[in-house]
């Protein structure tokens, strides 16, 4: 996947999360809707990056789209530390991982 499209999708997801959080602060709960708007994006990413399933969700939800990244919080299966504190760095990791296992 090209970086520009990857970044566009994740930035859109982040903006939606921020919007939902603001609505929640006003007493409107949009988090538990039946048609999860993020599910399609995560499924798409898992199809494109099948050897990194879970890494994108970790970046989005646990690291709050990279804003909670800290040194040492993400290490690949070879013990190599990756800085995934930005969308661009996450993309570089995913692309590298898929090349390593021979998909790309």
User: Which sequence spans correspond to the domains of the chain?
Assistant: 3-101
CA distance 53 to 62: 14
The pTM of the full predicted model, rounded to 2 decimals, is: 0.84
How far apart, in whole angstroms, are the C-alpha atoms of residue 59 and residue 77?
16
Predicted pLDDT at 33: 66
Sign of CA dihedral 98, 80, 90, 15: positive
pLDDT at 92: 97
79: left (phi over 0), alpha (psi -120 to 50) or beta: left
pLDDT-flagged residues of the chain (< 50): none
Rounded to an integer, what distance in angstroms lies between the CA atom of residue 58 and that of residue 65? 9
- Secondary structure E strands in the chain: none
């Amino acid at each position: 996947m090209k970086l520009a499209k990857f970044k566009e999708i994740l930035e859109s997801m982040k903006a939606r999360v921020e919007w939902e959080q603001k609505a929640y602060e006003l007493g409107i709960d949009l988090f538990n809707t039946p048609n999860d708007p993020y599910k399609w994006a995560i499924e798409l990413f898992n199809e494109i990056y099948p050897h990194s399933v879970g890494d994108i969700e970790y970046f989005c939800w646990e690291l709050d789209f990279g804003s909670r990244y800290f040194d040492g919080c993400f290490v690949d299966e070879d013990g190599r530390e990756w800085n995934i504190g930005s969308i661009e760095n996450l993309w570089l990791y995913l692309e590298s991982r898929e090349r390593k296992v021979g998909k790309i």
